[in-house]
Amino acid sequence: MNLIIDVGNSFIKLAVFELNRVLDKKIVSAENFLKNFEKFIEKHQFIEYGIISAVSNVKEADLLSIKRVCKLFVLDHQTPVPFTNLYATPKTLGLDRVALVCAAVHQFKNKNVLIIDAGTCITYDFVSSKAEYLGGGISPGLQLRYKALHNYTAKLPLLQPEMPQDIVGNSTAASIHSGIVFGIINEIEGTILQYTNTYENLTIVLTGGDAEFLSKQLKCSIFVSSTFLLQGLNSVLRFNTD
């Protein structure tokens, strides 16, 4: 079994895989990582390998605890991956994006894939049918847009995301929801259209924290996965250990 650890700014995702199947997963706070990690790992006694996506927010003592459980790989820009990276600045490519591309190459062999990760930022990543990563795009995510309207204007309120009832907002709140949500929907659909016009037989994957919220409004055929990044980390680990 493999232990997968995806480190974020505030939260850390833990998962246990058997081959390509998720057996268990949990989200824990970075502050109380060790206590939660020990409880999580008690249920899984036969872990051989592990991978962690970043160590910047993990204490050295926590890393040592993980290494006692399994042989730990730390994903960085030197880690062998199953695709050719044609990004002009490969060392600046986020490790989360690296993991997403690995998942795409593993699950959709010999296909053109556009991965859309709707999180803090919305990232677009394209990998060709030849397993060549070409790049993509980055734009503000759902929560960022709500916060930006509040923080950079004098009177607009800070709202929680809500699916608008109509394109025409008949109040300030309704107008904010319409502008942000439909703006993102149109951005995603427009981006998909541009890629579709350029690359044949395009597979589209939508993942990230806001994937479920946004997918209900998207008209195109997409593959929605909440665990795609974890699957990508697992595929990197298997690529280096199998």
User: Pick the catalytic residue: 96, 125, 166, 242?
Assistant: 96
CA distances from 111 to 81, 126, 237 (A): 17, 11, 22
Decide if 241 is inside a domain.
no
**What is the pLDDT, as a whole number, of residue 105?**
96
Decide if 225 is inside a domain.
yes
Decide if 239 is inside a domain.
no
Asked if residue 9 has pLDDT above 70, the reply is no
Q: Amino acid identity, residue 210? A: D
User: How many CB atoms are closer than 10 A to CB 114?
Assistant: 22
CATH number of the CATH domain containing 48: 3.30.420.40
pLDDT digits (tens, 9 = 90+) for 69-113: 899 999 999 999 999 999 999 999 999 999 999 999 999 999 999
Asked if residue 44 has pLDDT above 90, the reply is no
Give the strand pairing for 112-118 and 121-127. Answer: antiparallel
Q: In terms of domains, do 68 and 88 share one?
A: no
Cα-based angle 222, 90, 100 (whole degrees, multiple of 5)? 25
Q: Is 160 exposed, middle or buried (0-12, 13-18, 19+ CB in 10 A)?
A: exposed
Here the tokens at position 212 are: 């479920």
Choose one of 39, 54, 74: the last residue of a domain: 74
Chain center to CA of 223 = 14
Q: In terms of domains, do 221 and 158 share one?
A: yes
Q: In terms of domains, do 163 and 63 share one?
A: no
Q: In terms of domains, do 89 and 191 share one?
A: yes
Q: Which domain covers residue 44, as residue numbers?
A: 2-74
Give catalytic status of residue 210 as yes or no. Answer: no
Decide if 242 is inside a domain.
no
Q: In terms of domains, do 128 and 70 share one?
A: no
List the binding residues: 6-13, 87, 94-97, 117, 120, 172
Q: Name the CA radius of gyration of the chain, rounded.
A: 19
Q: Is 39 within 8 Å of 52 (Cβ atoms)?
A: no
List the binding residues for K(+): 117
Question: d(Cα 130, Cα 199) in Å, to the nearest integer?
Answer: 12
State the pLDDT confidence band at 55, using cuts at 50, 70 and 90: low
Q: Is 228 within 8 Å of 209 (Cβ atoms)?
A: no
Q: In terms of domains, do 211 and 166 share one?
A: yes
List the binding residues for substrate: 87, 94-97, 172
Decide if 204 is inside a domain.
yes
Q: In terms of domains, do 22 and 137 share one?
A: no
Q: In terms of domains, do 166 and 196 share one?
A: yes
pLDDT digits (tens, 9 = 90+) for 203-224: 999 999 899 999 988 888 899 9
List the binding residues for ATP: 6-13, 120
pLDDT digits (tens, 9 = 90+) for 123-154: 999 999 999 999 999 999 999 999 999 999 98
Q: In terms of domains, do 15 and 119 share one?
A: no
Q: In terms of domains, do 195 and 93 share one?
A: yes
Q: What total of structural domains would you count in the chain?
A: 2
Residue 235 DSSP code: H
